[in-house]
Copies of this chain bind each other. A is one copy, B any other.
Amino acid sequence: MDNTDKPSTGLVLHHLENSRSQRVLWLLEELEIPYTIKHYKRTKEQLAPRELRDIHPLGKSPVITDGDVTVAESGAIIEYLIEKYGNGRFEPPPTQEAKLQNRYYTHFGEGTLMPYLVNLHIFNIVPNRMPWFMRWFTRLIFGALQKRLIVPNLGAASKLIESDLAKSPTGWISRGPEPSSADFVMLFPLEAFPLALGEKNVGPKTKAWVEMAHKRPAYIRALEKGGNYVYAKL
């Protein structure tokens, strides 16, 4: 293979504005390791741009390249970075309960919670993109889907998160002194909760968790470096 156009061998975050990638940026700042950001803007349709397919065949963000290695999928990226660069930090406390909490939420964030939020969003925007004379009817169908398939599940999820956070002496998901992989994965959906559920439906423990994350110096640096981010402001 020709090496002329090989990308830098350093760590690169391929970062899409207003996306799940912001949580990887937060973790990178927490880790205090050298990395560069490559910024990508959403298309007019709010999708990831085609150039991301040059990095990973699915063409989504986040994705990182670390020398010859490419890692996609938020949960996998976060676990990889903590294992490789964490030096023992950002791990759950060494109790079975903490490990179970951490493992559960590291999967739950993308495996259960994000699909609800994505569908809530899709079902909200589709009617607005229909010709005006179809809008009322489309809104009726998608409203019914939201009410039956999403709202009860999101409500149960929100209650579970509240009750689990209430058991954490530190406020972090796996109950240690610092955020763990579960907290990084959960950042994006929990930041989206006020927009998705309505401010008044977000539980106090969840709000406190988001505030705690937003006060971390590493989070603030990540926000400065990330560009547009609709779920938090500098």
Which A residues are closer than 8 A to B by beta carbons?
A: 57-60, 69, 71-76, 79-80, 96, 100, 103-104, 106-108, 110-112, 114-115, 118-119, 122, 126, 130, 134, 137-138, 141, 145, 149, 153, 156-157, 159-160, 163
Contacts and interface: CB of A to CB of B under 8 A. Distances in A.
A72 to B, nearest CB: 7
Contacts of A149: 122
A104 B145 contact: no
Contacts of A104: 71-73, 76
Given A69-B96, A80-B100, A126-B145, A58 B112 contact: yes
A122 to B, nearest CB: 7
A97 B76 CA distance: 13
Contacts of A80: 100, 103
Number of copies: 2
Given A71-B104, A110-B111, 19 more contacts: A57-B159, A57-B160, A58-B112, A58-B160, A60-B112, A69-B96, A69-B100, A71-B100, A72-B104, A73-B104, A75-B75, A75-B107, A75-B111, A76-B108, A80-B100, A110-B110, A115-B115, A126-B141, A130-B141
- Name A's interface SS: helix
Most buried by B among A108, A111, A134, A153: A111
Contacts of A122: 145, 149
Contacts of A108: 72-73, 76
A119 B116 CA distance: 11
Nearest to A96: B69
B79 A103 contact: yes
A107 B49 CA distance: 23
Contact of A58 (B69, B75, B106, B157): B157
Most buried by B among A71, A103, A119, A137: A103
B153 A58 contact: yes
B73 A111 contact: yes
Contacts of A138: 141
